[in-house]
Amino acid sequence: MTRIIDGNDVASDVRDGLGDAIATLEDDGVTPTLATVLMSDDPASETYVSMKQEDCEEVGIEALDVELDPDAPAEKLFGTVEDLNADPNVNGILVQMPVPDHVSNRDVIRAIDPAKDVDGFHPENVGRLVAGDPVFKPCTPHGVLKLLEDADVETEGADVAVVGRSNIVGKPLANLLVQKADYGNATVTLCHSRTDDLAEKTRRADVVIAAAGVPELVDGSMLTEGAVVIDVGVNRVDRDGESTLVGDVDFESAKEVAGAITPVPGGVGPMTRAMLLYNTVMATGRQTDVSVDLP
Ligand code: NDP
């Protein structure tokens, strides 16, 4: 029987554990605070930000909502980030990407204080992760590791194919999986759009993690029997005239071959959201010197 890995369940456990950590902080008079900065009128970005704020409120993290006119000069955003960096009541800063074309994504990421960089994208945090001394692990890769942990998937010595090499998912995930650490010690093949014969790479893998942004790219014929399949992809497609969400894995054919698989929705998505809360609580503990047990 193929095991369906339920991201909602695992995310709910993480949130419960964070509740205890937040109570510890509150006992010391500290309320963790995440500032979200939105400089866009893209409906998807607006939805992501409001979901993140609701998540915060549900677990007892204060959400500070900062909205900037998308046509404002870049300096406005950099000034805002500088103010939030300096504000001792703000523990985490999340600038919703993408920012408008006249602002450099890269410069925004660099402007955020690494101690408040709960996305884990600042070069200091990326460098620490690669060097095996991570502070903030980026939310989606961290969520994937938590799912593997919960499903008792042994990565040590395993062949893992990661499909996609973005800075927010594929690359940090591959780096985490090769660390000499729990849920590391894997042999990773990092695939991308120029990879020759993707199916040959995925068929060799004990664990396949798809993060390409291509609807149903990985199907059952590309998997070895019993493989663990983690589907990061979220793609909106038209099916029979109806708009629906599908992953980067063809769930129906893959589940006939896989030993365990995540669904879309309800797999990696809830974990990404939970790990943002995790990083915010972690940041708060580090900034206030309150010792918190993280789940
Ligand atoms: P990007 O578009 O930044 O990166 C996609 C990567 O996939 C690139 O490295 C690209 O290669 C590679 N790729 C594209 N087509 C193929 C192909 N045919 N074969 C092999 N590799 C291919 O995407 P993201 O990493 O930001 O996101 C990936 C997916 O995950 C998206 O569906 C996104 O919506 C979803 N996502 C989901 C999250 C969640 O919480 N569930 C969070 C973040 C993302 P190249 O580098 O050569 O261009």
Q: What is the pLDDT, as a whole number, of residue 274?
A: 98
CA distance 131 to 187: 17
168 lines ligand 1 (CB under 6 A): yes
Q: Is residue 202 lining ligand 1, measured as CB closer than 6 Å?
A: no
| Cα distance between residue 131 and residue 97, in whole Å | 26
Q: How far is the CA of 41 from the centre of ligand 1 (A)?
A: 23
Top-level class of domain 26-119: alpha beta
170: Cβ below 6 Å to ligand 1?
A: yes
Q: How far apart are CA 158 and CA 139, in angstroms?
A: 23
User: Is the minimum distance from the CB of 217 to ligand 1 under 6 angstroms?
Assistant: yes
pLDDT of residue 167: 97
Tokens in use for 132? 């095996």
Catalytic one of 55, 113, 119, 248: 119
Range 119-123 contact pairs with CB under 8 angstroms and sequence separation of 24 or more: 119/94, 119/168, 119/276, 119/279, 120/172, 120/279, 121/167, 121/168
Residue 131 pLDDT: 97
The answer, yes or no, to whether any atom of ligand 1 lies below 6 A from the CB of 272, is: yes
Tokens representing 149 are: 């942990």
Q: Is 26-119's fold the same as 139-269's? A: yes
What is the structure's pLDDT at 163? 99
Domain chopping of the chain, boundaries:
26-119, 139-269
d(C-alpha 155, C-alpha 253), whole Å = 24
Cα(129) to centroid of ligand 1, in Å?
A: 20
The residue to mutate among 169, 191, 272, having the most atoms of ligand 1 within 8 angstroms of its beta carbon, is 169
Ligand 1 center from residue 157 Cα (angstroms): 25
Q: What are the 10-residue block averages of pLDDT along the chain, 295 residues in total? A: 97 97 97 98 96 97 98 98 98 97 97 98 98 97 98 97 98 98 96 98 98 98 98 96 96 98 98 98 97 95
CA distances from 94 to 117, 118, 120, 204, 259 (A): 7, 7, 10, 37, 36
Probe residue for ligand 1, chosen from 97, 147, 166 as the CB with the greatest number of ligand atoms within 8 Å:
166
d(CA 129, CA 235): 28
User: What is the model's pLDDT at position 226?
Assistant: 98
Residue nearest to atom 16 of ligand 1 (CA): 193
Å from CA of 276 to ligand 1 middle: 20
Q: 3-class DSSP state for residue 245?
A: strand
- Strand 235-239, strand 242-246: pairing: antiparallel
- Cα–Cα distance between 195 and 253 in angstroms, integer? 23
Place domain 139-269 in its CATH homologous superfamily: NAD(P)-binding Rossmann-like Domain (3.40.50.720)
Whether 173 is in the pocket of ligand 1, judged by its Cβ within 6 Å, is no
- What pLDDT is recorded for position 204? 98
DSSP notation for 106-143: HHHHHHS-GGG-TT--SHHHHHHHHTT--SS--HHHHH
Q: Is 166 in the pocket of ligand 1 (CB under 6 A)?
A: yes
Known catalytic membership, residue 119: yes
pLDDT at residue 258 in the model = 98
Q: Residue 191 burial (CB < 10 Å; 0-12/13-18/19+)?
A: buried
* pLDDT for res 125: 98
